[in-house]
Structure 1
Amino acid sequence: MISGYAVAVAICALALAVWSFVLVAVNRPPTQPLLYGLMGVEALLLVQVVISVVLLISGERPGSIITFLIYLIVALLVLPLGTVWALAERTRASTAVLGVACITVPVLIMRMYQVWEGASA
């Protein structure tokens, strides 16, 4: 796993979480620019999937491949699921759901990194 890229994705997701919670504080539903930001982070997560697959094909292995793949899949799904939920009910609470989804992404990335590094420990 490329640690610098993982940190960059995590920082982008945290920035979106802050944006979401600012919108919650001013009682706003999810905005179009926020949704575009979510699409951007999702694209970064797709690149993370490609990087991971290439590293796995090249012979590098995480400590537990099953655990790593589960974290990778969940990280890829959490933002779309949160977005579907948020768009079904455009309220202040749905903006908070997006914020929580955005906070979940860095946690999953951190766990992926820990599982990946477990192989070399």
Structure 2
Amino acid sequence: MITGFGVAVAAAAALVAVWAFVAAARGREPGRPLLAALAVVEALLVAQLVVGVVLLIAGDRPHSMVTYLAYLVGALVILPVGTAWALAERSRSSTVILGVACLAIPVMVERIHQIWGAGHG
């Protein structure tokens, strides 16, 4: 995996998480700018999936293929599920849900890189 890109994805998700928590502390519901930032993070996650699949097609292999693919796809699912949950109940707590969803992304990205690195170390 490309380490710099993974760091960028994790950092973007962490920044959006901070934004969501600050908005929640101010008592704000999720607004369009926050949702747009979530869409940017999701686009980065889609790009990460594409890079991961291209590396697999090129012949590189992680230590555990099933776990690697599960984390790649799982990372894609977190934000849409969190967003659907948050939009179903628009309140200050829904903004916290988005922040927590964003905090899960750096963890998922780190695990993807750990699994990938285990097969190449």
TM-score (norm 2): 0.99
Is 1:119 the equivalent of 2:92?
Answer: no
Displacement of 1:5? 0.3
Is 1:104 the equivalent of 2:104?
Answer: yes
Alignment correspondent of 2:29: 29
Post-superposition CA distance 1:46-93 (Å, at most 9, x none) = 000110010000000111010000011110000000000000000011
Displacement of 1:120? 1.6
Alignment correspondent of 1:92: 92
Alignment correspondent of 2:50: 50
Alignment correspondent of 1:11: 11
- What does 1:65-80 align with in structure 2 at a 5 Å threshold? 65-80=65-80
Runs of 4+ in structure 1 deviating by more than 6 angstroms, as ranges, are: none
Q: Report SS of the residue matched to 2:95.
A: helix
Q: Report SS of the residue matched to 1:109.
A: helix
Please tell me the residue identity of whatever aligns with 1:28.
Answer: R
Percent identity between matched residues is 54
Root-mean-square deviation (CA, aligned residues, Å) is 0.5
Pairs aligned (count): 121
Unpaired runs of 5+ residues, structure 1, are none
TM-score (norm 1): 0.99
Displacement of 1:31? 1.0
